[in-house]
Amino acid sequence: MKSEIQLTFENCKRENRPALLTYTVASDPNKKKSLQIINSIAKYADIIELGFPHSTPVGDGGQIQTSSNRAIKNGFKMRDSFQIVNKFKKNYKNKPVILMGYYNMIYQYGENKFLKDCKKSGVSGIICVDLPWPENKDFAKKCKNKSINFIQLLAPTTTKDRMRKIVRDSHDMVYYISMLSTTGGKLKVSPRRILENYKKIKRINSRKNLVIGFGITEKTIKSLKSADGLVVGSLLCKTITNSLKMRQNPVTKLDKVVYNLKNKIL
Protein backbone atom coordinates (compact mmCIF):
# COMPACT_ATOMS: atom_id res chain seq x y z
CA MET A 1 0.00 0.00 0.00
CA LYS A 2 1.27 3.45 -0.87
CA SER A 3 1.94 5.80 2.00
CA GLU A 4 0.02 9.03 2.53
CA ILE A 5 3.25 10.86 1.78
CA GLN A 6 3.71 9.04 -1.53
CA LEU A 7 0.09 9.65 -2.52
CA THR A 8 0.43 13.34 -1.72
CA PHE A 9 3.48 13.73 -3.96
CA GLU A 10 1.75 11.83 -6.76
CA ASN A 11 -1.21 14.11 -6.41
CA CYS A 12 0.94 17.23 -6.63
CA LYS A 13 2.73 15.85 -9.67
CA ARG A 14 -0.57 15.33 -11.40
CA GLU A 15 -1.30 18.98 -10.73
CA ASN A 16 2.14 19.78 -12.07
CA ARG A 17 3.34 21.63 -8.98
CA PRO A 18 5.64 21.01 -6.05
CA ALA A 19 4.25 19.91 -2.71
CA LEU A 20 4.25 22.65 -0.11
CA LEU A 21 5.53 21.53 3.28
CA THR A 22 5.11 23.78 6.28
CA TYR A 23 7.04 23.55 9.51
CA THR A 24 5.68 24.94 12.74
CA VAL A 25 6.51 24.03 16.31
CA ALA A 26 4.08 22.06 18.46
CA SER A 27 2.70 24.24 21.26
CA ASP A 28 3.96 27.44 19.70
CA PRO A 29 2.67 29.85 20.89
CA ASN A 30 0.60 27.39 22.95
CA LYS A 31 -0.95 23.99 22.49
CA LYS A 32 -4.39 25.19 21.39
CA LYS A 33 -3.11 27.86 19.02
CA SER A 34 -0.58 25.58 17.38
CA LEU A 35 -3.40 23.18 16.51
CA GLN A 36 -5.47 26.06 15.16
CA ILE A 37 -2.49 27.12 13.08
CA ILE A 38 -2.00 23.80 11.36
CA ASN A 39 -5.75 23.35 10.94
CA SER A 40 -5.82 26.65 9.13
CA ILE A 41 -2.68 26.41 6.96
CA ALA A 42 -3.50 22.84 5.93
CA LYS A 43 -5.92 24.37 3.42
CA TYR A 44 -2.83 25.25 1.37
CA ALA A 45 -0.07 23.04 2.72
CA ASP A 46 0.26 19.54 1.30
CA ILE A 47 2.31 18.10 4.13
CA ILE A 48 2.42 19.38 7.70
CA GLU A 49 5.72 19.21 9.51
CA LEU A 50 5.29 19.60 13.23
CA GLY A 51 8.41 20.19 15.29
CA PHE A 52 8.73 18.85 18.81
CA PRO A 53 10.75 21.60 20.42
CA HIS A 54 14.12 20.93 22.02
CA SER A 55 15.97 23.18 24.41
CA THR A 56 19.27 22.78 22.57
CA PRO A 57 18.56 22.74 18.83
CA VAL A 58 22.04 22.81 17.29
CA GLY A 59 20.76 22.73 13.70
CA ASP A 60 18.38 25.62 14.06
CA GLY A 61 18.77 29.34 13.69
CA GLY A 62 17.19 32.12 15.70
CA GLN A 63 13.60 31.88 14.45
CA ILE A 64 13.04 28.23 15.26
CA GLN A 65 15.00 28.60 18.50
CA THR A 66 12.61 31.36 19.55
CA SER A 67 9.56 29.27 18.68
CA SER A 68 11.00 26.24 20.49
CA ASN A 69 11.76 28.22 23.63
CA ARG A 70 8.31 29.74 23.60
CA ALA A 71 6.68 26.32 23.31
CA ILE A 72 8.80 24.83 26.10
CA LYS A 73 8.13 27.83 28.31
CA ASN A 74 4.43 27.37 27.68
CA GLY A 75 4.63 23.88 29.06
CA PHE A 76 5.22 21.69 26.02
CA LYS A 77 5.46 17.98 26.80
CA MET A 78 6.24 15.29 24.25
CA ARG A 79 2.76 13.79 24.53
CA ASP A 80 1.31 17.12 23.35
CA SER A 81 2.74 16.49 19.87
CA PHE A 82 0.69 13.32 19.56
CA GLN A 83 -2.44 14.94 20.92
CA ILE A 84 -2.11 17.78 18.42
CA VAL A 85 -1.60 15.37 15.52
CA ASN A 86 -4.49 13.20 16.66
CA LYS A 87 -6.88 16.15 16.69
CA PHE A 88 -5.57 17.49 13.41
CA LYS A 89 -6.07 14.15 11.68
CA LYS A 90 -9.73 14.22 12.66
CA ASN A 91 -10.13 17.24 10.40
CA TYR A 92 -7.69 16.20 7.70
CA LYS A 93 -7.83 12.46 7.44
CA ASN A 94 -5.45 12.05 4.51
CA LYS A 95 -3.09 14.94 5.04
CA PRO A 96 0.34 13.64 6.03
CA VAL A 97 1.96 14.91 9.21
CA ILE A 98 5.69 14.61 9.75
CA LEU A 99 7.12 14.97 13.24
CA MET A 100 10.49 16.64 13.32
CA GLY A 101 12.97 17.10 16.12
CA TYR A 102 16.11 16.04 17.93
CA TYR A 103 17.03 12.52 18.87
CA ASN A 104 17.33 12.98 22.62
CA MET A 105 13.58 13.57 22.81
CA ILE A 106 12.83 10.32 20.98
CA TYR A 107 15.49 8.50 22.99
CA GLN A 108 14.03 9.62 26.32
CA TYR A 109 10.47 8.83 25.19
CA GLY A 110 11.67 5.41 24.08
CA GLU A 111 11.95 4.62 20.36
CA ASN A 112 9.28 1.93 20.46
CA LYS A 113 6.80 3.90 22.51
CA PHE A 114 7.44 6.91 20.29
CA LEU A 115 6.64 4.94 17.15
CA LYS A 116 3.60 3.35 18.75
CA ASP A 117 2.22 6.78 19.63
CA CYS A 118 3.10 8.07 16.15
CA LYS A 119 1.11 5.26 14.66
CA LYS A 120 -1.81 5.76 17.01
CA SER A 121 -2.07 9.48 16.37
CA GLY A 122 -1.62 9.23 12.61
CA VAL A 123 1.94 10.49 12.06
CA SER A 124 3.18 9.63 8.55
CA GLY A 125 6.84 10.45 8.80
CA ILE A 126 9.74 11.41 11.04
CA ILE A 127 12.68 13.74 10.55
CA CYS A 128 15.40 13.49 13.15
CA VAL A 129 17.88 16.32 12.74
CA ASP A 130 20.78 14.80 14.65
CA LEU A 131 20.40 11.14 13.81
CA PRO A 132 22.28 10.95 10.52
CA TRP A 133 22.98 7.90 8.38
CA PRO A 134 24.35 5.32 9.31
CA GLU A 135 23.52 6.06 12.96
CA ASN A 136 19.85 6.05 11.98
CA LYS A 137 19.85 2.60 10.35
CA ASP A 138 18.18 0.73 13.22
CA PHE A 139 15.63 3.40 13.94
CA ALA A 140 14.81 3.86 10.25
CA LYS A 141 14.17 0.14 10.01
CA LYS A 142 11.85 0.28 13.00
CA CYS A 143 9.97 3.11 11.30
CA LYS A 144 9.65 1.14 8.11
CA ASN A 145 8.26 -1.84 10.00
CA LYS A 146 5.55 0.45 11.32
CA SER A 147 4.92 1.89 7.85
CA ILE A 148 6.20 5.25 8.98
CA ASN A 149 8.51 7.16 6.67
CA PHE A 150 11.94 7.90 8.09
CA ILE A 151 13.08 10.88 6.11
CA GLN A 152 16.77 10.96 5.30
CA LEU A 153 18.57 14.27 4.96
CA LEU A 154 21.21 15.21 2.41
CA ALA A 155 23.40 18.30 2.55
CA PRO A 156 25.69 20.14 0.12
CA THR A 157 28.60 18.51 1.96
CA THR A 158 27.28 14.97 1.46
CA THR A 159 29.63 13.09 -0.88
CA LYS A 160 28.24 11.35 -3.93
CA ASP A 161 29.06 7.91 -2.62
CA ARG A 162 27.37 8.66 0.67
CA MET A 163 24.36 10.11 -1.16
CA ARG A 164 23.90 6.87 -3.03
CA LYS A 165 23.95 4.86 0.17
CA ILE A 166 21.56 7.21 1.93
CA VAL A 167 19.13 7.31 -0.99
CA ARG A 168 19.26 3.52 -1.16
CA ASP A 169 18.23 3.31 2.50
CA SER A 170 15.60 6.05 2.23
CA HIS A 171 11.85 5.61 2.14
CA ASP A 172 9.41 7.68 0.04
CA MET A 173 10.82 11.11 0.76
CA VAL A 174 14.31 12.61 0.97
CA TYR A 175 15.11 16.08 2.29
CA TYR A 176 17.85 18.14 0.65
CA ILE A 177 19.33 20.93 2.75
CA SER A 178 19.84 23.73 0.25
CA MET A 179 22.96 25.31 1.70
CA LEU A 180 25.51 25.32 4.50
CA SER A 181 23.46 26.97 7.18
CA THR A 182 21.28 26.43 10.15
CA THR A 183 17.56 26.89 9.51
CA GLY A 184 16.40 30.42 8.77
CA GLY A 185 19.58 31.58 7.10
CA LYS A 186 19.46 33.83 4.09
CA LEU A 187 19.67 31.87 0.86
CA LYS A 188 23.36 32.26 0.06
CA VAL A 189 23.47 29.89 -2.90
CA SER A 190 21.82 30.64 -6.23
CA PRO A 191 18.62 28.67 -6.97
CA ARG A 192 20.33 27.42 -10.12
CA ARG A 193 23.11 25.83 -8.06
CA ILE A 194 20.61 24.31 -5.65
CA LEU A 195 18.63 22.81 -8.52
CA GLU A 196 21.81 21.42 -10.07
CA ASN A 197 22.50 19.52 -6.84
CA TYR A 198 18.86 18.58 -6.68
CA LYS A 199 19.06 17.00 -10.13
CA LYS A 200 22.20 15.11 -9.17
CA ILE A 201 20.29 13.47 -6.36
CA LYS A 202 17.28 12.79 -8.55
CA ARG A 203 19.54 11.02 -11.01
CA ILE A 204 20.48 8.53 -8.29
CA ASN A 205 16.86 7.51 -7.97
CA SER A 206 14.18 9.56 -9.69
CA ARG A 207 11.35 7.77 -7.89
CA LYS A 208 12.27 9.25 -4.51
CA ASN A 209 10.35 12.39 -3.68
CA LEU A 210 12.98 15.00 -3.06
CA VAL A 211 12.15 18.17 -1.16
CA ILE A 212 14.31 21.23 -0.66
CA GLY A 213 14.44 23.13 2.60
CA PHE A 214 16.44 25.92 4.34
CA GLY A 215 16.33 29.54 3.21
CA ILE A 216 12.95 29.29 1.49
CA THR A 217 10.84 32.42 1.75
CA GLU A 218 8.21 34.29 -0.22
CA LYS A 219 11.05 35.74 -2.27
CA THR A 220 12.87 32.52 -3.11
CA ILE A 221 10.16 29.88 -3.34
CA LYS A 222 9.16 30.50 -6.94
CA SER A 223 12.66 29.98 -8.28
CA LEU A 224 12.73 26.44 -6.87
CA LYS A 225 9.28 25.32 -7.95
CA SER A 226 10.59 22.58 -10.19
CA ALA A 227 11.41 20.49 -7.11
CA ASP A 228 9.11 17.71 -5.87
CA GLY A 229 8.49 19.65 -2.72
CA LEU A 230 9.54 22.76 -0.81
CA VAL A 231 9.73 23.26 2.94
CA VAL A 232 9.08 26.57 4.65
CA GLY A 233 9.77 26.77 8.37
CA SER A 234 11.66 29.72 9.80
CA LEU A 235 9.49 32.20 7.89
CA LEU A 236 6.43 30.78 9.62
CA CYS A 237 8.07 30.81 13.05
CA LYS A 238 9.11 34.41 12.46
CA THR A 239 5.54 35.27 11.47
CA ILE A 240 4.28 33.87 14.77
CA THR A 241 6.88 35.86 16.70
CA ASN A 242 6.03 39.07 14.86
CA SER A 243 2.28 38.69 15.21
CA LEU A 244 2.65 38.11 18.95
CA LYS A 245 4.74 41.25 19.16
CA MET A 246 2.08 43.23 17.31
CA ARG A 247 -0.70 41.61 19.35
CA GLN A 248 -2.20 40.12 16.23
CA ASN A 249 -3.67 36.67 15.83
CA PRO A 250 -0.92 34.37 14.54
CA VAL A 251 -3.51 32.03 13.01
CA THR A 252 -4.83 34.56 10.51
CA LYS A 253 -1.34 35.92 9.84
CA LEU A 254 0.04 32.48 9.03
CA ASP A 255 -2.97 31.63 6.94
CA LYS A 256 -2.19 34.58 4.73
CA VAL A 257 1.55 33.83 4.48
CA VAL A 258 1.00 30.20 3.52
CA TYR A 259 -1.71 31.18 1.04
CA ASN A 260 0.77 33.53 -0.65
CA LEU A 261 3.49 30.89 -0.67
CA LYS A 262 1.16 28.41 -2.29
CA ASN A 263 0.09 30.88 -4.96
CA LYS A 264 3.72 31.44 -5.94
CA ILE A 265 4.26 27.80 -6.84
CA LEU A 266 0.99 26.99 -8.57
Partner 1 sequence: MSLKIKKGIPLIDQHDKNGMWGGKFGGNFVPETLKKPIQDLENLFSKLRKDKSFIKERDYYFENYVGTPTPLIKLDNLTDHLGGAQLWAKVVSENPGTAHKVYACIVHCLIAKRAGKRYVCTDTGAGMQGKNLAMVAKKFGLKAKIFMGLRDLVRQKKNVDVMKKYGAEVVPVTSGSQTLVDAVSESMRYWVANCQDVHMVIGSTVGPSIFVKISGYSTSQISRELKLQLIEEFGKIPNKLKLLNCVGGGSSAYGFWSEFIDYDKKHVSLIGVEAGGSKKTKLHAAPLSNNSKLGILHGAKAYCIQDNDGQIGETESLSSGLDYPSVSPLHCFLKDTGRAEYTSATDEEALNAYKLVSKLENISPSLEPSHAFATAISIAPKLSKDTILCIDSCGHSLKDSDIIKEKLGFYTE
The CB-of-147 to partner 1 minimum distance in angstroms stands at: 24
For partner 1, give the closer residue by CB, 130 or 169.
130
The CB-of-65 to partner 1 minimum distance in angstroms stands at: 6
Is residue 189 a contact residue for partner 1 (CB under 8 A)?
no
Per the residue annotation, which of 28, 49, 80, 255 is the catalytic one?
Answer: 49
Give the Cα separation of 21 and 42 in Å (integer): 10
> 10 Å Cβ neighbour count for 49?
26
Give the Cα separation of 257 and 105 in Å (integer): 30
Instruction: Select from 122, 150, 123, 146 the least CA-distant residue to 134.
Output: 150
Candidates 129, 164, 189, 244: give the one binding partner 1 (CB under 8 A): 129
Is residue 105 a contact residue for partner 1 (CB under 8 A)?
yes
Candidates 65, 67, 124, 234: give the one binding partner 1 (CB under 8 A): 65
The CB-of-180 to partner 1 minimum distance in angstroms stands at: 6
Candidates 86, 132, 146, 189: give the one binding partner 1 (CB under 8 A): 132
Is residue 204 a contact residue for partner 1 (CB under 8 A)?
no
* 49 catalytically annotated: yes
Per the residue annotation, which of 4, 46, 60, 80 is the catalytic one?
Answer: 60
Instruction: Select from 75, 100, 73, 99 the least CA-distant residue to 86.
Output: 99
For partner 1, give the closer residue by CB, 45 or 78.
78
Subset of residues 159 to 188 that bind partner 1, contact rule: CB under 8 A: 159, 162, 177, 180-182, 185
Candidates 15, 135, 138, 196: give the one binding partner 1 (CB under 8 A): 135
* 218 catalytically annotated: no
Exposed, middle or buried, 87 (CB in 10 Å: 0-12/13-18/19+)?
middle
Candidates 51, 57, 125, 233: give the one binding partner 1 (CB under 8 A): 57
Q: Which residues are part of the catalytic machinery? A: 49, 60
Binding interface with partner 1 (CB under 8 A): 54-61, 65, 69, 72, 77-78, 102-109, 129-135, 153-159, 162, 177, 180-182, 185
